[in-house]
Amino acid sequence: MSSTPPAPKSWLTNQSARRPWARLAVAATAALALLGVAAAPAVADGTPAPAASERSKTSFVIGVKQDIDSLNPYVGVVAGAFETYQLMYDYLTTSAAKDFAPEPWLAEKWETSADGKAWTFHLRKGVKWSDGADLTAKDVVYTFQRAKDDETANGQYSSYVDNITKITATDDHTVVMEVEKPSPIMLRLAVPILPEHVWSKVSAKDAATFANDKDVVGSGPFQLAEAKKGQFYRFTANKQHFGGAPNIDELIFTVFADDTALAQALRQGEIDMAQDLPAAIAETLVKEPGITVNDAKYYGFNEIGYNLGAATTDGKAIGDGHPALKDKQVRLAIDHAIDRKTLVTKVLNGHGGPATGVIPPIYADLHWNPGSAERAFDLAKANSILDAAGYSKGADGIRAKDGKALKFRLFGRDSSEYSKQTAEYVRSWLKEIGIEATVSIMSEDNLTVVLGKGEFDLFEWGWVVEPDPDFQLSVMTCEQRSYEEDGEIAAGWSDSFYCSEAFDKLYAEQQTMIDPAKRAEKVKEAQRLLYEDVAYSMTYYYNQSEAYRSDRFTGFVPQPSEGGILAFQYGTHSYRNLKPVTAQAGDADSGSGSGGVVLWVVGGVVLVLLIGGAVVVLKRRSNADDRE
């Protein structure tokens, strides 16, 4: 090539004929080095794992499927976030493991005035924050006052605090709350008590973006040690907690984005528990030695909802729902045409049961079902109901009345396979009774909008029901229909536009009943009314599969006792009570394969690279005399 002595140029210039391989190698090395340097902060910000000392700890690792959106109790909305608040902080009361009944927690005892408008909570003495300061009534007052005044905090806790008019500390261990109307929710105030001396430094402006992921001061049974967003959250046990010292030293949540990987990690022992596995995947784990799968009752139900005459709260009709669905006979017929047994066996693989009342059986005291009066799957009966109501079949086999054919739009949700399958089944059953349903599948966000505008006939969705039945019943009140705002229609909670004076009355009555037994009566009555009116066609209650390493850990406390769930409870029952199977926590051979294997493999890889490198170098040497 060129005969001029080349000035040393960079490898990128057109010294084209000089050892491209070497240049490429240099390029690759440079790029890798760059990446390495670039990535160093990401890698190095983790505390270097102290060897051996880590081993002597008992860590319980749970794999979860959704990252925790925020550790800040004012803004997090996903289930995992609420789980961390329960660990880091304490609440006035908790929900019993046995049956969800309110139990003393930070508040040892309480009394309420005769009119139910003043509540006095007596706090436990000697509770300390993790920084050593005392937890007093001042902190409780601060917490509730802030939840009322601070916009961000109120967004999260309004349903608990808006009814409270005044909150005062009469001494260090007594808090008095005055309420607008008596409410049973006062024993379920799920507001984590925060330390005033820390949170008073977080301004109202910062509250919405405060991460709360470092140096967290809490009083709860587990304290945050390390948070790596999108990866894992490590909590250390608070051995001084008044609920008793947890038996494990560490509780770790690791985030998985893939179900198969989650199940595999449990098999491998990388984690000790997998929370919420799809039934199909959970079934593959049933036979694995050392793994127990818990098919737990869950808080939810699913339904086929109807457009019962969409309207705004002031009664103005909206949307374009099919008028025939206002006819109870049509809904009755549809309800008889839904084969819930098939849905449970085919859609849920048997992991659930047919649904009746809107409060699932997991809440045994509040759940209502019709018993022997349950509507059976009976296509002949469904057909005869429609015949009697004057919906006669046309030439195309579709029923019609007053020239309006029974052709419905049925909406399913794309986020759920169950939803798609259910919609398809329902469509085929409706065909049997002369009703044509056109299924469309869309995202939940879009469906919310469609429902709010009343532009639907039927839909498939479900609700997750809280221990207090108030919210679930409120969904069916007239008050929760859509509302108009600047000419825009916005959705309330209602998705069916059910509106019944009798129901609203029952709802209002139960809202102020403090006696649980009396209230349960009303709640059951309300459910019965919904069932008789066919406000929803309830489809199924479903289970949630959790799997854990029973060869390593034991002592879980299910909630409720009968077939309840083990993790993500109302309270921290399992976390505080689970313990390692072996007495020797030290030799729990946990972690990603044993470190030894890892080192061997890494060593092997390095060796291979070295040998390969040596071979290449030697080969180059031998070719060196081939130079031009």
For other proteins, the binding residues in 60-89 under the rule CB under 8 A are: 61, 63, 67, 69-70, 72, 75-77
Residue list 484-503, contact with other proteins (CB under 8 A): 485, 490-493
223, 483, 528: which is closest to 371 by C-alpha?
528
Secondary-structure percent of the chain, ordered helix, strand, coil, rounded to 5: 35, 25, 40
625 binds other proteins (CB under 8 A): no
Q: What are the distances in angstroms from CA 12 to CA 24, 453, 460, 572?
A: 10, 62, 62, 61
Question: CB 274 → other proteins: shortest distance, Å?
Answer: 11
Smaller CB separation from other proteins, 142 or 232: 232
Residue list 123-162, contact with other proteins (CB under 8 A): 151, 154-156, 158-159
Question: CB 512 → other proteins: shortest distance, Å?
Answer: 19
For other proteins, which stretch binds (CB under 8 A), given 237-245, 251-259, 300-308, 334-342? 251-259
Residue 611, SS3 per DSSP: helix
Question: CB 91 → other proteins: shortest distance, Å?
Answer: 16
Q: DSSP labels for 412-454? A: EETT-HHHHHHHHHHHHHHHHTT-EEEEEEE-HHHHHHHHHHT
54 binds other proteins (CB under 8 A): yes
Smaller CB separation from other proteins, 251 or 566: 251
By CB under 8 A, name the one of 21, 126, 315, 487 that touches other proteins: 21
By CB under 8 A, name the one of 119, 121, 160, 256 that touches other proteins: 256
DSSP 373: G
For residue 505, count other CB atoms closer than 10 A to its CB: 13
Distance CA 504, CA 468 (A): 17
Residues sharing a CB contact under 8 Å with residue 333, sequence separation 6 or more, in sequence order: 382, 383, 385, 386, 389, 433
56 binds other proteins (CB under 8 A): no
By CB under 8 A, name the one of 178, 249, 270, 387 that touches other proteins: 270
For residue 473, count other CB atoms closer than 10 A to its CB: 24
Residues listed for the chain: 628
Distance CA 360, CA 371 (A): 14
For other proteins, which stretch binds (CB under 8 A), given 20-28, 92-100, 105-113, 289-297? 20-28
| Residue listed under structure tokens 């199940």 | 263
Residue list 580-599, contact with other proteins (CB under 8 A): 590-595, 597-599
Smaller CB separation from other proteins, 263 or 337: 263
Contact criterion met (CB below 8 Å) for 549 and 350: no
591, 611, 592, 593: which is closest to 603 by C-alpha?
611
Question: CB 10 → other proteins: shortest distance, Å?
Answer: 9
231, 237, 226: which is closest to 48 by C-alpha?
226
Smaller CB separation from other proteins, 373 or 605: 605
Question: CB 376 → other proteins: shortest distance, Å?
Answer: 31
By CB under 8 A, name the one of 601, 607, 616, 618 that touches other proteins: 601
Question: CB 46 → other proteins: shortest distance, Å?
Answer: 5
Question: CB 161 → other proteins: shortest distance, Å?
Answer: 12
Residue list 194-223, contact with other proteins (CB under 8 A): 208-209, 211
255 binds other proteins (CB under 8 A): yes
417 binds other proteins (CB under 8 A): no
